[in-house]
Amino acid sequence: MSPCTTVPLPRYPEHWQRRHLLDLESLSAQEIVTVLDTAEQLSQAHAAAGQKLSLLSGRTIANLFYENSTRTRNSFSLAAKRLGADTIEFSSSGSSVSKGETYIDTAKTIEAMGVDAVVTRHATPGTSHLLAQHLSCCVVNAGDGSHEHPTQGLLDILTIRQQRGSLDGLTVALVGDIAHSRTARSNIWGLLKLGARVIVCGPATLVSKKWETFGVEVAHNLDAILPRCDVLNLLRIQFERQDTRPFPSVREYALLYAMNSERMKRSKPDILIMAPGPINRGVEIAPDVADGPHSVILQQVTNGIAIRMAALWLLLGQSVRQAVDGRTARGGT
């Protein structure tokens, strides 16, 4: 490939062989670090250039979203455009889905328009894996039910690494609705592989003992674990995925698990406060903590674009390179 800009660009990593990004469970520590390093390099190159990079010029990315999204969808769209790619935006509402068209048929129809990658979000776990079996183009999981949200996990990890230099030996607590959180699963896989200790904390109805099989500590008392934590990632209560209310009241939940100024006084002086968003002020986090000096919530949003640039380039750059070399653009694993 021959980018137009003269600023330093990352070399395509020879060891990267993946054509889809579906989860963090199957990624190795080396692959996770490759995405993080590539995100840093692409972000710096874009900032230095002050304009779009041409790494994916001529490529088209389709955002196939069957669930509402603000951060993830816009982040993927911006990431694609900053790499010079074109984008197609699809929402299930107002589409042929209302006429009975299946998820797979819709995706294959969009792919037939010359799409090189499909970024998909769906309420059903495993849908991105299913799509990868039916499409020839690259597939990126932007959230599949309560299963995984790999780019959210990667941007969370990148944010911690930027703040602390390394994940190794840190204690990271995921607090809140672990049972229904795809972000929690991706965080757990990624954090453990990079050497962090992970605690999942919340009401017993949302954090069962089964999570210990993931290799994490289970806790139900935030105040008890708080002095040990280097990072708190406060997850939203996902009422839309619950059949019954898992605790007596939101007020009680906030009393037991919300991060507020009193709990900040009992935390480590350099504790990081994170949230994947959207945040519910007064439920998982008090406004003064969300906007306070320990909060890196907006840095997470910024890093989301960098991580998605890295993901798209790593997945599509392989086919670009192969095409340049005269080999098939549809090979790989």
Q: Is 129 a catalytic residue?
A: no
Q: Is 71 a catalytic residue?
A: yes
Which residue among the candidates 72, 127, 151, 183 is catalytic per the annotation?
72
Q: Is 217 left (phi over 0), alpha (psi -120 to 50) or beta?
A: beta
DSSP letter string, 147-160: S--HHHHHHHHHHH
Q: Is 19 a catalytic residue?
A: no
Q: Is 127 a catalytic residue?
A: no
Within 8 A by CB and 6+ apart from 71, the residues are: 277, 278, 301, 304
Which residue among the candidates 19, 20, 46, 149 is catalytic per the annotation?
149
Q: Tens digits of per-residue pLDDT, 252-266?
A: 999 999 999 999 999
Which residue among the candidates 15, 99, 209, 210 is catalytic per the annotation?
99
Q: Tens digits of per-residue pLDDT, 267-302?
A: 999 999 999 988 889 999 999 999 999 999 999 999
**CA quadruple 139, 145, 150, 154: dihedral, nearest 10:** 140
State the Cα–Cα distance between residues 316 and 332, nearest whole angstrom.
11
Backbone angles phi, psi at 140, to 5 degrees: -120, 130
> What is the Rg, in whole angstroms, of the alpha carbon atoms belonging to the chain?
20
Which residue among the candidates 121, 147, 180, 236 is catalytic per the annotation?
121
Can you read off the two tokens belonging to residue 160?
A: 């911690």
Q: Are 77 and 87 in contact (CB under 8 A)?
A: yes
Can you read off the two tokens belonging to residue 207?
A: 């954090």
Q: Is 245 a catalytic residue?
A: no
3-state secondary structure of 143: strand
- Per-residue confidence in pLDDT tens, the chain, 333 aa: 444 445 677 889 989 999 999 999 999 999 999 999 999 999 999 999 888 999 999 999 999 999 988 899 999 999 999 999 999 998 777 666 767 889 999 999 999 999 999 999 999 999 999 999 999 999 999 999 999 999 999 999 999 999 999 999 999 999 999 999 999 999 999 999 999 999 999 999 999 999 999 999 999 999 999 999 999 999 988 766 666 777 778 899 999 999 999 999 999 999 999 999 888 899 999 999 999 999 999 999 999 999 999 999 999 987 666 655 554 444 443
pTM of structure: 0.91
Which residue among the candidates 5, 52, 71, 129 is catalytic per the annotation?
71
